[in-house]
Amino acid sequence: MYNESPIIRRKSSRIYVGDVPIGDGAPIAVQSMTNTRTTDVEATVAQIKALEKVGADIVRVSVPTMDAAEAFKLIKQQTRVPLVADIHFDYRIALKVAEYGVDCLRINPGNIGNEERIRSVVECARDKNIPIRIGVNGGSLEKDLMDKYKEPTPEALLESAMRHVDILDRLNFDQFKVSVKASDVFLAVESYRLLAKQIVQPLHLGITEAGGARAGSVKSAVGLGMLLADGIGDTLRISLAADPVEEIKVGFDILKSLRIRSRGINFIACPSCSRQEFDVISTVNELEQRLEDIVTPMDVSIIGCVVNGPGEALVSDIGLTGGNRMSGYYDDGVRQKERFDNTNIVDSLEAKIRAKASIVAGRIQAKDLSK
C-alpha cells in the first residue's frame, strides 16, 4: 500500500541532466560513478549498463585526460543513461566532452584557470545546454580556506561553494547544481543546511568516502536521511567502497524508507526469532535476488509468526504470516483462503508477487493518466 511522504521539499530551480529533470519538485535522482578505467571502454560501458539496469538515473564518469575524453566519446555512443563527466583543472577536457555530447559537467570553475578559460567552458555549456555541477569536498578545500579555518568546517565548505557560485553568477549562468560533501556526517549535514539558505539551485547530496558497504550505507542513511527529512536534496549518490550497483540500491532504499520515491519491492520482514514457522532470513534473501527486475513499487510483508504478521499484512500489497506447516497469505490486506506450504514458500510467493506487480503497475498508470 502506498503512502505519500509527509516531507515538504525545499523549493529550487529546475535543470535537466540529459532528459532527467532535477529540482523544482522533480523526483530525487539517484546516481553513481563508474570505478573502471575510463580508457577501458568495454568495461566502463558494461558497468554503466549494470547501473542502468538497477535504476540509476545518472552516471558520473571520471575524465582525467584527453585519452579518457576520446574514450568517453565511444562510451557515450554505446549507453543511454545521462552521463556526467568528472573533470578537474584542464578546461580543454571539458570542451572536448561537451563536443562529444556529455549531459553534465562536474567541474569547479575556480579550479580551471583564468577568467578566459572559465568563460570558454561556461559559454560552451550555455551554447550546448549542458548544466554544471559544482562539487566541493571537505577533503580538498582551497589552501587559503584551510589557513583561515584551520580545518574543514561548514562555514569553510560554504565559502568554497559560494566562490564557484559567484563566478557562474558573474557570467550569468544559472544552470547548475551544487554539492558540499564531507566524510563526517555532521559536517556534511550542516554544510548543506547553510548552503540551502544561500542559493535556489538544486543540491546534490552525498556523504563522501563513506566507507565499505555496511558502514558506508549506515553513514549515508543517517546523513542523507537528516537532510532529506528537512526537504533538502534533489539528487544523491551513496559513496561506497563497494560495487557501484550497491550504491544505487542503497540510494533507492533510503528514498523508499522516507516514502520519497519508490522503485521495486519494499520488503517488510521480521528479524526472526524462535516463534518463526519458516526460515524468514533465507526466504527474504532469496526473494530479493529473484525479484530485482521488478521496478513497480510494492510493499511485501514476510513475517514468521502470527504475533505481528497479520498487522503488517493488513497494510501490504502482499502479506505472508507464518503458521504451523502452512502460512497465511494476504492480498491487499485481505486474508485469502489459500495457504502456502512452508517448504515451498519462495516459489509460491514469487509467483504471487510477479502477478501482483502487474496489477499495481496498472493502478499507478491509471492514476497518472487521471491527473
CA dihedral 87, 91, 92, 93 (to 10 degrees): 10
**Residue 104 annotated in ligand binding:** no
300 CB-side CA count, 13 A: 26
Cα(90)–Cα(319) distance, integer angstroms: 55
- 8 A C-beta contact, residue 175 and residue 123: no
Nearest to 305 by CA among 332, 336, 283, 273: 273
**Residue 155 annotated in ligand binding:** no
- Tell me, rounded to whole angstroms, the distance of Cα 359 from its chain centroid: 26
HEC string of 238-255 equals CCECCCHHHHHHHHHHHH
**Residue 273 annotated in ligand binding:** yes
Backbone angles phi, psi at 251, to 5 degrees: -60, -45
Contacts of 163 (CB under 8 A, 6+ apart): 110, 142
**Residue 270 annotated in ligand binding:** yes
Greatest Cα-to-Cα distance within the chain, rounded to the nearest angstrom? 75
Helix axes 115-127, 91-99, angle to 10 degrees: 10
Residues forming beta bridges with residue 330, ordered by sequence position: 319, 335
Contacts of 309 (CB under 8 A, 6+ apart): 301, 303, 319, 320, 321, 322, 328
- 8 A C-beta contact, residue 63 and residue 72: yes
Backbone angles phi, psi at 127, to 5 degrees: -65, -35
Cα(312)–Cα(330) distance, integer angstroms: 10
Nearest to 189 by CA among 157, 146, 162: 157
Give binding residues for [4Fe-4S] cluster as ranges. Answer: 270, 273, 305, 312
Residue ranges of the binding site: 270, 273, 305, 312
